[in-house]
Structure 1
Amino acid sequence: MSFQIDLQSLPVVAAEIFLLLCLAALIGWLFARFIIKRRMRNLRELIEEKKFELAEYRTLMKNPVEYPIATNASKTVYPDTSPDHEPDDLKLIEGIGPKIEELLNKEGIHTYEQLSEASIIRLAGILKKAGPRFQIHDPSSWPKQAILARDKNWEALDQLKIELISGK
């Protein structure tokens, strides 16, 4: 079986292929434009939300008396090591490993008491300052866990850790 090329229909075939390619490019461009516009709209909304959160945070920082950030705002600052209490093992808190414990210790948090009184904003700031590797951690449950550990309520702490791990 052999194919024969009709030289008279060759320009018509080339024109049809060219038109189909142009049509495919136009459709692709329209889809990309639609997708990019939607992503840009979502990003603008996210930026506005973050601007609002930043404004709230700045308000909290300007008026710490009206809006307390930390529960230990009126207490004295702890020294690097407390002479009457040995440092606690902060690694018992779900989400804190050896490196995060080291970061917390550098910031003056050595005991469950200190961790329970630390604000979530401060803890998040410590993680953020340490870099992207640590920013993925969520410190929102650490003070609550620290209260249970401080009070030596190990059963409740274990139950909370199970709930945190299972995502409930």
Structure 2
Amino acid sequence: MMLLQLNPFSKPVAISEILILLIIAAFVGWLIARLITNGRIRVLRESISERKIELANCRSQHREFTTAQQPLVGKASKTVYPTAIPLDPAKADDFKIIEGIGPKIEELINKEGIYTYEQLSNTNPIRISNILKNAGPRFQMHDPSSWPQQAKLANEKRWQELQILKDKLIAGRQ
């Protein structure tokens, strides 16, 4: 009988009704979210078990392929550069006119038997990089990719074109 006497318009009763409805709505929302999450977890666990089976199959096939094949090539041969013909240092060209080459680098290149613009223009930039790399970390920052091109222009006495190319370069880099 007490419930019938409660006035729904009074503040305490209205607040308690609102709180009860909010608690019920929160519980129903939590229950629905739990059901949805459990369904997703079940689907993901099934997917994981399928992927584990696929992974095991791939690993077994990988073992079959790797154990059955023999290596086709033994070891890579070392790159052999042609030996330099000794030249009189008086006949050596001045490499310092090439952008990016200073006196120390010129000395290193001369020690490798490269004395003329023609020899430098026919030298692979990778070989020049190896010369610089073997000389130490101080020389590794230089980029010799344009040096053969500059040496070719100098060998052909095309000084204006060489100067135009040097103006485009910054410390020997394009």
- Give the alignment's TM-score, normalised by structure 2: 0.50
> Would you identify which runs of 4 or more consecutive aligned residues in structure 1 move more than 4 Å?
61-64
Q: Distance in 2 between matches of 1:106 and 1:155?
A: 29
Q: Distance in 2 between matches of 1:100 and 1:161?
A: 17
Counterparts in 2 of 1:63 and 1:130: CA distance versus 1, 3 Å? closer
Letter in structure 1 aligned against 2:104: K
Q: Larger C-alpha radius of gyration, 1 or 2?
A: 2
Q: Distance in 2 between matches of 1:164 and 1:142?
A: 11
The residue number in structure 1 matching 2:85 is 79
User: What is the aligned counterpart of 1:158 among 157, 163, 167?
Assistant: 163
Answer whether contact 2:117 2:155 (CA < 8 A) is retained.
yes
Q: Distance in 2 between matches of 1:149 and 1:113?
A: 9
The residue number in structure 2 matching 1:134 is 139
The residue number in structure 2 matching 1:116 is 121
The secondary structure found in structure 2 opposite 1:124 is helix
Residues 19-43 of structure 1 show CA distances to partners (whole Å, capped at 9, x for unaligned) of xxxxxxxxxxxxxxxxxxxxxxxxx
The secondary structure found in structure 1 opposite 2:91 is coil
The residue number in structure 2 matching 1:88 is 93
Letter in structure 1 aligned against 2:134: K
Identity among equivalent positions (%) equals 56
Q: Distance in 2 between matches of 1:106 and 1:159?
A: 29
Q: How many residues align?
A: 98
Counterparts in 2 of 1:139 and 1:118: CA distance versus 1, 3 Å? same
The residue number in structure 1 matching 2:104 is 99
Runs of 5+ unmatched residues, structure 1:
1-60
The residue number in structure 2 matching 1:149 is 154
Shift, 1:86, TM fit: 1.2
- Give the alignment's TM-score, normalised by structure 1: 0.52
Residues 104-143 of structure 1 show CA distances to partners (whole Å, capped at 9, x for unaligned) of 0000010000100111110000000000100000000000
Q: Distance in 2 between matches of 1:111 and 1:63?
A: 26
The secondary structure found in structure 2 opposite 1:96 is coil
Shift, 1:165, TM fit: 2.4
Runs of 5+ unmatched residues, structure 2:
1-75
Shift, 1:79, TM fit: 1.6
Q: Distance in 2 between matches of 1:77 and 1:149?
A: 23
Letter in structure 2 aligned against 1:108: G
